[in-house]
Amino acid sequence: MTATDLALHAGAHAPLGTSPYPLSPSNPGPVEGFQPSVDGLHDLPADLQPIRDKVLRGERLDLDDGRALFATPDLNGLGALANYVNECRNGNRTTFTYNRHLNYTNKCAYRCMFCAFRRDGDEHDAVVMDMDFIRHKLRTEFTDTMKEVHVVGGINVDLPYSYYLDLLRTIKDERPNLHVKGFTMIELDQIAEQAGRPIEEVLEELKAAGLDSCPGGGAEVLSKRVHKKLYNGKLPPEQWLSTVRKAHAAGLRTNATMLFGHIETTDERLDHMLQIRAVQDETGGFMQYIPLVFHPDNTPLQRLGKTTGTDALRTIAVGRLMLDNMPHVKAYWVMLGIKIAQIALHYGADDIDGTVVEEHITHDAGATTPQGLATTQIAGLIAETGRQAVLRDTLYQDLSVI
Ligand code: SF4
């Protein structure tokens, strides 16, 4: 089938190579001269052809389409379809950021079964960073050109509300230009609990103290069944969704993650994606979808082992296709491993996260990736895949080609 045949076959659709779905300021489409690849779309197997035609017509995929995408034996065909959608949105660009993580405490009241990061307060390696320590870190380990600090921690019920305000003010005092992406929805709920006030008011005060956006963690898999079995006690799915809506209403952009590769079913993965998609329809507040591979080492779920590279690629590609309203899909190299993250850039992902530098959550669970990568290393890894490396800020407003 030629490109023209393909276009005719699909029926009414956006011209081939232009985005079948709405673009956004951070998804401006390809730069002039770059033509999204339709090569892999011509000879798709029968199970993928109706889905390809829906994609070309800009139609939304449903649960049954998602099931077919997860079930298809043609992983490369699935990847070609996701790659086409990504290239229509983002051209040949792959973004990353110059960031560093700050895990201010690992003390946690919860015992999520997939977590190797948490500590009880009396464990020898339990950490709570005080402001002097944080200030010292900011002076000695951060730079003026760094774009983002990613701030997350355990649910430490001993920390007063004032701690979080002081943390944000200390960061802005030492590094006023640093974008603070901080606190999962779980942490935000805990902070509001400590404040004893409605979360809407607390979000405004956190913003005034320096909070610029929020990460996407804590959703895990938005399933009551998985929640009950693996992280009962932590924010249930409906409350995670409620808190993220409030964060978006407060003007905070967030990400949305999905932790996969443990006990969740394919339908639970798809249901998670559909719930995220519905919130995005309402609020438009998500910047990125980030599929996170579960790392079992040192967790009570160690017996499960780690999911495969092909499952990771499939899940990334399905996410790109189902989440038609999500500007960006991330291949988080820390969890995927560098090689799978590179391949994922041709399976629908357009971002590879950042330099990270000091990562504890995944490495405590057995990740063998480096603790961090230099910007030149990340740019080189992206270039190896044939993509153009672009350094971004957290909100995708400042983009510079490397
Ligand atoms: S995942 Fe988060 S909330 Fe759950 S135990 Fe670990 S640190 Fe605590």
3-state secondary structure the chain: CCHHHHHHHHCCCCCCCCCCCCCECCECCCCCCCCCCCHHHCCCCCCCHHHHHHHHCCCCCCHHHHHHHHHCCCHHHHHHHHHHHHHHHHCCEEEEECEEEECCECECCCCCCCCCCCECCCCCCCCECCHHHHHHHHHHHCCCCCCEEEECCCCCCCCCHHHHHHHHHHHHHHCCCCEEEECCHHHHHHHHHHHCCCHHHHHHHHHHHCCCEECCCCCCCCCHHHHHHHCECECCHHHHHHHHHHHHHCCCEEEEEEEECCCCCHHHHHHHHHHHHHHHHHHCCEEEEEEEECCCCCCCCHHHCCCCHHHHHHHHHHHHHHCCCCCEEECCHHHHCHHHHHHHCCCCCCEEEECCCCCCCCHHHCCCCCCCCCHHHHHHHHHHCCCEEEEECCCCCCEEEC
**Strand partners of residue 292:** 259
Q: Which amino acid is at 189?
A: D
C-alpha of residue 112 to centroid of ligand 1, in Å: 6
Ligand 1 geometric centre to CA of 118 (Å): 6
Residue 163 alpha carbon to ligand 1 centre in Å: 19
**pLDDT tens across the length of the chain (402 residues):** 565 566 656 666 777 777 777 777 777 777 777 888 888 898 899 999 999 999 999 999 999 999 999 999 999 999 999 999 999 999 999 999 999 999 999 999 999 998 989 999 889 999 999 999 999 999 999 998 899 999 999 999 999 999 999 999 999 999 999 999 999 999 999 999 999 999 999 999 999 999 999 999 898 999 999 999 999 888 899 999 999 999 999 999 999 999 999 999 999 999 999 999 999 999 999 999 999 999 988 888 988 888 999 999 999 999 999 999 999 999 998 889 999 999 999 999 999 988 877 777 677 777 777 777 888 999 999 999 999 999 999 999 888 888
For residue 347, how far is the Cα from the chain centroid? 15
Q: Please state, in angstroms and rounded to a whole number, the distance separating the CA atoms of residues 307 and 296.
A: 10
CATH topology of domain 95-401: TIM Barrel (3.20.20)
**How far, in Å, is the centroid of ligand 1 from the Cα of 231?**
8
β partners of residue 102: 151
The residue whose CA has the least distance to atom 2 of ligand 1 is 154
Atom of ligand 1 nearest to the CA of 153: 7
* Pairing mode of beta strands 388-392, 399-401: antiparallel
Residues with CB under 6 A from ligand 1: 108, 110-112, 115, 117-118, 154-155, 186, 231, 234
* Contacts within 8 Å (CB) and 24+ apart, 240-247: 240/185, 240/186, 241/275, 241/279, 243/185, 243/188, 243/189, 243/199, 244/185, 244/219, 244/279, 244/285, 245/279, 245/282, 245/283, 246/199, 246/200, 246/203, 247/185, 247/188, 247/203, 247/214, 247/285
pTM of the model: 0.93
The residue nearest atom 7 of ligand 1, judged by CA position, is: 154
What distance lies between CA 72 and its chain's CA centroid? 24
* Residue to mutate (ligand 1; options 103, 128, 186, 189; most atoms within 8 A of CB): 186
Report CA(364)–ligand 1 centroid distance (Å): 12
Cα of 217 to ligand 1 centre, how many Å?
Answer: 10
Domain borders along the chain are: 3-91, 95-401
Taking a C-beta distance cutoff of 8 angstroms, is the pair 171, 138 a contact?
Answer: yes
List beta partners, residue 99.
148
Q: Which atom of ligand 1 is nearest to the CA of 234?
A: 3
How far, in Å, is the centroid of ligand 1 from the Cα of 205?
A: 24
Output the pLDDT for position 2.
60
Index of the ligand 1 atom closest to the CA of residue 106: 7
Ligand 1 atom 4: residue of nearest CA: 112
For 205, the token pair is 């005060």
| Mutation choice for ligand 1 from 187, 234, 298, CB with most ligand atoms inside 8 A | 234
CA 104 to ligand 1 centroid distance, Å: 13
Q: How far is the CA of 115 from the centre of ligand 1 (A)?
A: 6
